Amino acid sequence: MLSIELIRRDPELVAGGLARRGEETTLAELIDLDASRRVWVTDRDLLRATHNEMSREFGKLVAASKQAQQGDSDKERMTALRAETQTTSERIEALENQINDAEAKIETMMLVLPNLPLNSVPEGLDETANIVDRSWGEPRTFDFTPQPHWDLGEQLGVIDMERGSKISGARFYVLKGAGARLERALINWMLNIHTREHGYTEMALPAMVREQTMLGSGNLPKFGDNLYRDAEEDLWLLPTAEVPLTGLHRDEILEPGTLPIRYVAQTPCFRREKSAAGRDTRGIKRVHQFSKVEMYKLVDPTESAAELESLVADAEDLCQRLGLPYRILSLCAGDIGFQSAKTYDIEVWSPGCEEWLEVSSCSTCEDFQARRSNLRYRPEAGARPQFMHTLNGSGLALPRIIIAILENYQREDGSVEVPDVLKPYMGYDVITT
């Protein structure tokens, strides 16, 4: 959530940041309503003070009456005070109703405002304006025509799209045999690298969360139509582990020396997102359920920029160890996510599909999620609590890594070599029929 103080102080800066994202949202109504709310709060507080003073005076008069020390003027004053306090109470109640209504409307408006892009984020409104920051590795040259993963997966018997669709519908899939083993090997290997070498603490998380947790992460209300929900229990299936990891410390104040906190978790992810007709409909590039290893950080704002770069480096490290050629994109203002202030995407080359596939998206949200989830810390003992910064990144998303391995490590006979780092986890060197 954006800071209402920032909107009051510099509405032009906020409007400019939103415009960079292609948002046409006007702030005028929000600013006017906030100004009215503050006037009403001041009026209410003054009335409360008046009410309290009248109550004290009335109490003194009551005490005097009990001691038979009350004259006619005092009796008249008591009668007047009864009427005035009643009127004041009614005015206070009316103002409180106005304030509550205004605060609810302000919150509704604030919840749909996206984060502001950092100055270092490239200009542009869609993916065509994204900038290739750097690349690693050279795409493999084949002596034969490389096959796409949907053909390889079927021939090897490791991906079953037909039965996935039969049991769950379109854009679901089944991994079988070496395919299932490959996913499990990748998960175990990734978690081991992140926890043993990159300094993350592994977490095992619920796959369903409360609405407040979704709101805190920024997935609601904006993306409600893309999420799966158990309406009866009012629980939401995870689109990513970022959601419960953001909620872990909701409404907490972390003590000095606690930050940075670095978490990593593997979870199933569920998304109802729709693709354009005819796009990403073959294979497992875009599906409704998949596994993902997620990196997450809670950091001091002064360390936020450096922690983003190290987050990207941790994801890169995995791609390099897998021997997968990749490039890093700096996303333009119009293409970064709702919660993000800056995002780098890592895309690996897929020779069978003949395209770059995103396997990691690494973002800093600065204090956007912290404000929504009330994530605070004390920089030092006795200091006033401040909002921390949150960062998240895929480390990595499983379906597209599986695609990249199958397509980059395929051999002319249709078998697939297992990357060296995964051989101890797989138990064999080659995936064959």
Is residue 271 flagged as an active site residue? Answer: yes
Report how far residue 376's alpha carbon sits from residue 388's, in angstroms, rounded to the nearest whole number.
Answer: 6
Is residue 181 flagged as an active site residue? Answer: no
> Are residues 423 and 182 in contact, defined by beta-carbon separation less than 8 angstroms?
no
Instruction: Using DSSP bridges, classify how beta strands 376-377 and 253-254 pair: parallel, antiparallel or unpaired.
Output: parallel
Q: Which one of 171, 271, 371, 376 is the catalytic residue?
A: 271
Q: Which one of 340, 350, 361, 373 is the catalytic residue?
A: 361
Cross-strand bridge partners of residue 136: 326
Nearest residue to 173 (alpha-carbon basis) of 154, 156, 192, 200:
154
Is residue 376 flagged as an active site residue? Answer: no
Nearest residue to 318 (alpha-carbon basis) of 241, 400, 202:
400
Is residue 291 flagged as an active site residue? Answer: no
Q: Which one of 286, 321, 327, 411 is the catalytic residue?
A: 286
Report how far residue 78's alpha carbon sits from residue 55's, in angstroms, rounded to the nearest whole number.
Answer: 10
Q: Which one of 358, 378, 411, 415 is the catalytic residue?
A: 358
Is residue 90 flagged as an active site residue? Answer: no
Report how far residue 43's alpha carbon sits from residue 47's, in angstroms, rounded to the nearest whole number.
Answer: 6
Tokens at 383, concatenated: 């200091």
Q: Which one of 366, 376, 400, 407 is the catalytic residue?
A: 400
In Å, what is the CA distance from 332 to each residue of 17, 117, 125, 316?
12, 9, 7, 20
With b meaning 16 or more CB within 10 Å and e meaning fewer, what string describes 5-23? eebeeeeeebbebbebbeb
Give the catalytic positions in this structure.
271, 286, 358, 361, 400
